């Protein structure tokens, strides 16, 4: 099928109004009865379900075109309205026309010479229908001038102000003008004047904005559904059309019978209401029409508008075939480039393979396997485009028939490239290319370093997978969408994909202070990696036993000519850095692919901050980057499983002596707060510049309490060393922070709402447990306890207040940034960088003359800079040093 497409280019689009004549001309039948089906269940002729309007039941033929369901596109009908009615969609334009044209002669309210000026201006633009962008400002200028004219320059008739009483009532000096009168006035506007008001007289007349005939959409647009009980349920549009017909009929009868003006007017208005709601059931100013159950009807505008409307949900976004979705779970032993997919999924998703003389045997074998054995096939496509389903029963005969030029839809197999995606798709790394690994069990498996770009975890997250169907798509995915191509992020020029959690703890344990391993251990640690070789000379021999250091083992994974120097995550930021001689083993030196000193941790290989990973990807390419990351994470996992690693609440135990110190610090701080409050009450507080006395006090108190918490944390920290698992995780950058730990063992600290101490609640106090006007630490949300010790009820309450604010903030932020993102994407989606490095939109207009003003691709920059001078100088100096030796 898809090889038969004939590409066509849209030359132009023209918008126009449907004239009553046109509506009648395209109508297959006139609709007069409000009923749909008769007692036998057959559609009534000239009713809303007239068989001329198209077919919705299989087997029947359309009375207009003779085609069957799916072939017949459906045909419009029409309703002749007893009296004209305003189309809600055009009220603004109608008002403009009434205001800009004479109430008696219909000419535009501008003097002849002005008219000619404007016409000349419009002629300059050229083809009017193609240049709306330039015509619009002229039209708005014309309307503002014409509508302020008081007397017609053509016939001298004084003009009266026109107001629109929303939604559909027009008034002239307070007197209602009926749609019929409006129509008559608009009819008088001459064709020559229309172009000045932005209407093309070749395709539209203003009086067509007042309806005299209503088109009835084909039944295919509003199919009725038959429930299991055999009852028919009609579409909302049909319901609305029934209302219109009923009132229209009554209006006709009453008018013909010469009923009083009042009754006719009432019915006329009712007809207007029904037609208005038929177009838009959310028109402001009128109650929405409701279903019998009380649910508002979904009429024309509701079908199109908003997130669930036709545009956003069926045209901009579509449901697709060859996709699948299931829960995700981790697998640390597949590559970051891979995705594990359940066998069940692999047998449902297919790749089309065109049969040629080289693969015909292979294709036949696949067909012979059938749909129920894994590397098999589900469908065959004949050269004429006919699809044949392969079943257990026909697979043999079909395999015989397979010939060159046929297409076999075979199951996905290991190595096929697919797209993998997790919503919300906020950046390009939310959809990446993975290689398939067919596995048992029913979840998608992904390697842990790709969690950060997808923002995925395994608490029940689901992800989508799309199987690519064309050679071009597969090539594109392989070259630009593969996971390894996204290790470096365009957001900050560093790695978004990198080691996380246990990987970092593991590699830390391996390299920190260089632990020693025997030959057997060393090979065990490396057995999951791609390392194929023998160990180098041992680092140490003791009692005849050879030992290799963790740093040496790690070095085996590094490129052989790598040279780097940087501080690792555990660096204490001493005032004078001792570099190689760092007493904390925090200064990393790599020479010729050998780790000499320093600890490998988050700052080396972690997601978002891994310097070493970044360098390898940048200097040695994405293939090497992927290999390194796969190997390092495997080595780390093997190490951490071999050595063992666990944590518990007793990690936060501190000696009684330390506890006493912390208590003292906190007690002093609380006392200091009381003193400050005292000083404030006596007016002795020294006011800060630009702050009131109250603010000064608050700032001072916040500072004192903040410092007290930090000090408590420091005291606790002194007793928590790197032999402590929790500290290892915090310092190496694997998970958590020292603040988390000090809150567990020291003190939780001041709780804040909107950046201030908690002060709202009861009058002049936060809780009834305090005296009015108490400004002390505890009365305003200071939590002295630690998480381990437990909170007092009052502390718990304040802590919940602070916690609640955090939750509310995230909820508000996501919805707001989501909307902002939508607006930005809609504004920027068609911009691209052209070959001359200008940024242009689809019409070729220039937005930037040089991409980003410097023409730099941020994902290839070093953290924002186009050239990494520091590194270049470092590498050159190193070379020079070597040369001098």
Where does this chain bind other proteins (CB under 8 A)? 114, 117-118, 121, 137-138, 141, 836, 838, 840, 843-847, 849-850, 852-856, 864
Query: Residue 143 Cβ, how far from other proteins at the closest point, in Å?
Result: 12
Q: How far is CA 666 from CA 377, 705, 716, 747, in A?
A: 72, 8, 13, 8
Nearest CB to other proteins, comparing residues 114 and 528: 114
Q: How far is CA 103 from CA 159, 396, 525, 594, 642, in A?
A: 7, 82, 93, 92, 93
Nearest CB to other proteins, comparing residues 256 and 853: 853
Q: Are the CB atoms for 256 and 274 separated by under 8 Å?
A: no
Give CA–CA dist 491/473, Å, rounded: 25
Query: Residue 134 Cβ, how far from other proteins at the closest point, in Å?
Result: 9
Query: Residue 13 Cβ, how far from other proteins at the closest point, in Å?
Result: 20
Please identify which residue in the block is written with the tokens 């191509």: 485
Nearest CB to other proteins, comparing residues 151 and 847: 847
Nearest CB to other proteins, comparing residues 113 and 583: 113
Query: Residue 853 Cβ, how far from other proteins at the closest point, in Å?
Result: 4
Query: Residue 141 Cβ, how far from other proteins at the closest point, in Å?
Result: 5
Query: Residue 854 Cβ, how far from other proteins at the closest point, in Å?
Result: 4
| Angle between helices 738-745 and 693-719 in degrees, nearest 10 | 90
Nearest CB to other proteins, comparing residues 643 and 856: 856
Query: Residue 137 Cβ, how far from other proteins at the closest point, in Å?
Result: 5
Nearest CB to other proteins, comparing residues 138 and 767: 138
Nearest CB to other proteins, comparing residues 7 and 844: 844
CA atoms within 13 A on the CB side of 150: 0
Nearest CB to other proteins, comparing residues 94 and 146: 146
Kind and range of the H or E run holding 840: strand 839-840
Give CA–CA dist 322/312, Å, rounded: 22
Token couple for 470: 């064309």
Cβ neighbours of residue 1 under 8 Å, at least 6 residues apart? 385
Q: Which of 218, 330, 334, 217 is nearest to 278 (CA)?
A: 217
Q: Are the CB atoms for 142 and 129 separated by under 8 Å?
A: no
Cβ neighbours of residue 278 under 8 Å, at least 6 residues apart? 237, 240, 241, 243, 244, 299, 300
Strands (E), 474-549: 516-518, 540-542, 545-549
Q: Are the CB atoms for 510 and 553 separated by under 8 Å?
A: yes
Nearest CB to other proteins, comparing residues 327 and 846: 846
Query: Residue 708 Cβ, how far from other proteins at the closest point, in Å?
Result: 40
Nearest CB to other proteins, comparing residues 114 and 305: 114
Query: Residue 96 Cβ, how far from other proteins at the closest point, in Å?
Result: 17
Q: How far apart are the first and last CA of the chain?
A: 71
Nearest CB to other proteins, comparing residues 117 and 441: 117
Give CA–CA dist 372/425, Å, rounded: 34
Nearest CB to other proteins, comparing residues 139 and 496: 139
Query: Residue 491 Cβ, how far from other proteins at the closest point, in Å?
Result: 15
Query: Residue 138 Cβ, how far from other proteins at the closest point, in Å?
Result: 5
Q: Are the CB atoms for 164 and 95 separated by under 8 Å?
A: yes
Give CA–CA dist 619/602, Å, rounded: 20
CA atoms within 13 A on the CB side of 745: 30
Query: Residue 374 Cβ, how far from other proteins at the closest point, in Å?
Result: 52
Nearest CB to other proteins, comparing residues 161 and 845: 845
Q: Strand, helix or coil at 438? A: strand
**C-alpha dihedral (167, 170, 174, 175), degrees to nearest 10:** -130
Give CA–CA dist 226/775, Å, rounded: 71
Q: Are the CB atoms for 616 and 626 separated by under 8 Å?
A: no
Query: Residue 248 Cβ, how far from other proteins at the closest point, in Å?
Result: 44
Nearest CB to other proteins, comparing residues 812 and 847: 847
Token couple for 247: 């009132």
Give CA–CA dist 124/674, Å, rounded: 80
Query: Residue 493 Cβ, how far from other proteins at the closest point, in Å?
Result: 12
Burial status of residue 409 (CB atoms within 10 A of its CB: 0-12, 13-18, 19 or more): buried
């Amino acid at each position: 099928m898809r090889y038969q497409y004939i590409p066509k280019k849209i030359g132009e689009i023209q918008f126009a109004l449907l004239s009553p004549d046109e509506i009648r001309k395209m109508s297959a039948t006139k609709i007069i009865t409000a009923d749909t089906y008769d007692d036998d269940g057959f559609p009534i002729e000239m009713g809303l379900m007239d068989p001329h309007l198209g077919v919705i039941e299989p087997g029947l033929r359309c009375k207009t075109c003779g085609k069957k369901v799916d072939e017949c596109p459906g045909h419009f009908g029409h309703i002749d309205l007893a009296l004209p009615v305003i189309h809600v969609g055009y009220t603004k334009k109608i008002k403009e026309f009434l205001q800009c044209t004479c109430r008696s002669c219909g000419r535009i309210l501008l003097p002849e010479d002005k008219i000619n000026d404007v016409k000349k201006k419009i002629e300059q633009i050229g083809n009017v229908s193609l240049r709306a962008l330039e015509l619009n400002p002229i039209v708005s200028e014309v309307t503002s001038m014409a509508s302020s004219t008081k007397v017609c320059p053509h016939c001298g008739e004084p003009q009266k102000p026109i107001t629109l009483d929303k939604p559909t009532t027009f008034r002239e000096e307070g007197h209602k003008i009926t749609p019929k009168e409006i129509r008559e006035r608009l009819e008088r506007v001459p064709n020559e004047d229309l172009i000045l008001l932005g209407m093309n007289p070749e395709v539209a007349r203003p009086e067509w904005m007042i309806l005299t005939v209503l088109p009835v959409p084909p039944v295919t647009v509003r199919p009725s559904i038959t429930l299991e009980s055999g009852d028919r349920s009609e579409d909302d549009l049909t319901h609305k059309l029934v209302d219109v017909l009923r009132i229209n009929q009554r209006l006709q009868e009453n008018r013909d019978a010469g009923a009083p003006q009042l009754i006719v007017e009432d019915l006329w208005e009712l007809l207007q209401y029904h037609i208005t709601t038929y177009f838009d059931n959310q028109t402001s100013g009128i109650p929405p029409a409701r279903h019998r159950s009380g649910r508002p009807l979904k009429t024309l505008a509701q079908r199109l508008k908003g997130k669930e409307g036709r545009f956003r949900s069926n045209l901009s976004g579509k449901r697709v075939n060859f996709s699948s979705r299931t829960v995700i779970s981790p697998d640390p032993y597949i590559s970051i480039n891979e995705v594990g997919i359940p066998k069940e999924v692999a047998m449902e998703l297919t790749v089309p393979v065109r049969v040629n003389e080289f693969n015909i045997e292979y294709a036949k074998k696949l067909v012979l396997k059938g749909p129920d054995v894994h590397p098999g096939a589900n469908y065959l496509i004949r050269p004429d485009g006919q699809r044949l389903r392969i079943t257990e029963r026909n697979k043999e005969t079909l395999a015989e028939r397979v010939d060159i030029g046929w297409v076999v839809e075979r199951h996905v197999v290991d190595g096929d490239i697919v797209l993998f995606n997790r919503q919300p798709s906020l950046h390009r790394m939310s959809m990446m290319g993975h290689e398939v690994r067919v596995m048992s069990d029913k979840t998608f498996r992904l390697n842990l370093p790709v969690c950060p770009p997808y923002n995925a975890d395994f608490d029940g997250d689901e992800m989508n997978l799309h199987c690519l169907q064309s050679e071009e798509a597969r090539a594109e995915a392989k070259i630009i969408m593969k996971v390894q191509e996204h290790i470096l992020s365009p957001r900050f020029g560093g790695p978004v994909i990198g080691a996380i959690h246990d990987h970092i703890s593991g590699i830390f344990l391996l390299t920190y202070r260089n632990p020693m391993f025997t030959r057997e251990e060393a090979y065990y640690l490396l057995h999951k990696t791609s390392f194929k070789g023998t160990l180098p000379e041992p680092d140490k021999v003791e009692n005849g036993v050879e030992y290799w250091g963790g740093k040496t083992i790690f070095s085996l994974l590094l490129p052989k000519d790598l040279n780097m120097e940087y501080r690792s995550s555990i660096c204490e930021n001493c005032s004078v850095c001792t570099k190689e001689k760092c007493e904390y083993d925090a200064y990393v030196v790599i020479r010729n692919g050998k780790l000499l000193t320093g600890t490998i941790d988050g700052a080396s290989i972690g997601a978002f901050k891994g310097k070493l990973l970044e360098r390898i990807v940048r200097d040695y390419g994405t293939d090497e980057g992927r290999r390194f990351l796969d190997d390092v994470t495997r080595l780390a996992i093997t190490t951490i499983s071999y050595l063992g690693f666990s944590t518990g609440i007793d990690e936060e135990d501190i000696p009684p002596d330390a506890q006493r110190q912390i208590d003292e610090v906190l007690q002093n701080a609380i006392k200091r707060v009381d003193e400050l409050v005292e000083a404030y009450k006596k007016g002795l507080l020294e006011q800060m510049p630009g702050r009131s006395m109250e603010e000064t006090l608050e700032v001072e108190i916040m500072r004192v309490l903040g410092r007290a918490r930090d000090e408590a944390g420091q005291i606790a920290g002194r007793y928590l060393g790197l032999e402590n698992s929790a500290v290892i995780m915090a310092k190496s950058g694997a998970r958590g922070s020292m603040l988390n730990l000090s809150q567990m063992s020291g003190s939780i600290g001041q709780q804040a709402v909107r950046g201030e101490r908690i002060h709202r609640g009861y009058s002049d106090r936060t809780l009834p447990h305090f005296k009015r006007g108490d400004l002390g630490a505890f009365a305003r949300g200071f939590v002295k306890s630690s998480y381990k010790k437990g909170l007092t009820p009052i502390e718990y309450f304040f802590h919940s207040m602070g916690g609640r604010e955090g939750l509310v903030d995230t909820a508000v932020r996501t919805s707001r940034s989501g909307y902002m993102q939508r607006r930005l994407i809609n504004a920027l989606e068609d911009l691209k960088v052209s070959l001359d490095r200008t940024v242009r939109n689809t019409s070729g207009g220039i937005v930037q003359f040089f991409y980003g003003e410097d023409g730099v691709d941020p994902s290839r920059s070093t953290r924002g800079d186009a050239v990494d001078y520091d590194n270049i100088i470092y590498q050159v100096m190193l070379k020079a040093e070597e040369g001098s030796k």
